[in-house]
Structure 1
């Protein structure tokens, strides 16, 4: 079967996968020969990322990657973890924030913090970014951000459905420009990725049994359709 030429997203995830393999290998070997080979792989990965539109010089990118090399298990490269919260109120509306860095609207989300469970992070992010208190109801999604093209760094995003229990709308002074409650037909523009998650979010808020959305395996993983379910 004929395949379309690789997209920028394809090149980016191939680059990150190769760089992760090489950095992990460097963290587990003392062999000079193997280290040289892994450093060559990093150089190839940097060239691929540059072809995907990364503005940094490939040689400088290799230097940055080498700085991240650890030793043994701490050096095993894995995706970062972000945690998001789909918060609904008694009127069936969705809580959204306008991000200070990009101006786009999205449900509250942030990096996972050590010492907190994912559900605890969700509740903490909601309160910090919006002033709203909530209870975590259930996990409704696990996204691979690099695969779906909404992140340029490898990350998994865990999304929880939460129920608002109190508080008042107070945007974080540094992280958010604005916050608000929105119905299904009232989403502000631009709302990041709403075509992928909005229906699921409002279904969860209504109390529908939405299960947990996840990225289904591709066959083969490196060339399969990323939207195949």
Structure 2
């Protein structure tokens, strides 16, 4: 029994969201009453798992919220949300960080992908809106699985771009950010969200190190920690 894999609350959240996604996708692609009943049972089990992981909502509430996202056909296929992050560097080798107004933590500018924009265009827009800095996109640092890395409680993929500042002046967004600033690698602010995960990649990009885009390697099976 000593070799049994450990289970964390984040694992439970990941498994719960995976089951809920499978069930909602199934509901969107079947007209069989029998299959719909089975998928709704799976959804209820997923909600119980999420409650066990520490959800602030009751199981019935979670099921109701998940059911609101059930569509028909392709529109009902459940996929992770997409977030766009921008690691912006300047000529002094500093990184541009924002203090989020909702949580108080520091992070590079990031936001949800917008329809009608390419991912790189979203990166430029988010930086300008959140910090007042104008930037150009240099390249892709990586694609990160938010649930797997533990920095999200909902399914999301984060596309993180390396950007270079080309103009503008620091100006915090009046609603989204409470502060903005440039920081050296050895003088990062606190509290800082997940720097152990993205920090080395971010400053390697700012230094100009030639690195391939990062991605979370496949697991076998994918449900293991």
**Range of TM-score over shorter length:** over 0.9
Aligned to 2:63: 62
Worse-matched range after superposition: 86-95 or 193-202: 193-202
1:12-36 CA distance string (max 9 Å, x none): 0110000000000000111111100
For 1:24 and 1:41, the matched residues in 2 are separated by 12
Gaps of 5+ in 2: none
* Count of residue correspondences: 224
SS in 2 for 1:63: helix
Aligned to 2:82: 81
Deviation at 1:5, TM superposition (A): 3.2
**1:6 equivalenced with 2:7 (yes/no):** yes
Question: With structure 2 as the length reference, what TM-score do the two structures score?
Answer: 0.98
SS in 2 for 1:59: helix
SS in 2 for 1:55: coil
Deviation at 1:3, TM superposition (A): 2.1
For 1:117 and 1:203, the matched residues in 2 are separated by 25
Greater than 2 Å deviation, 4+ residue runs: none
Aligned to 1:193: 194
SS in 1 for 2:45: helix
Aligned to 1:135: 136
Q: Map 1:90-129; keep pairs closer than 5 Å.
A: 90-129=91-130
For 2:155 and 2:195, the matched residues in 1 are separated by 21
Deviation at 1:67, TM superposition (A): 1.1
Deviation at 1:198, TM superposition (A): 1.1
Deviation at 1:59, TM superposition (A): 1.1
**Aligned Cα root-mean-square deviation (Å):** 0.9
For 1:211 and 1:123, the matched residues in 2 are separated by 21
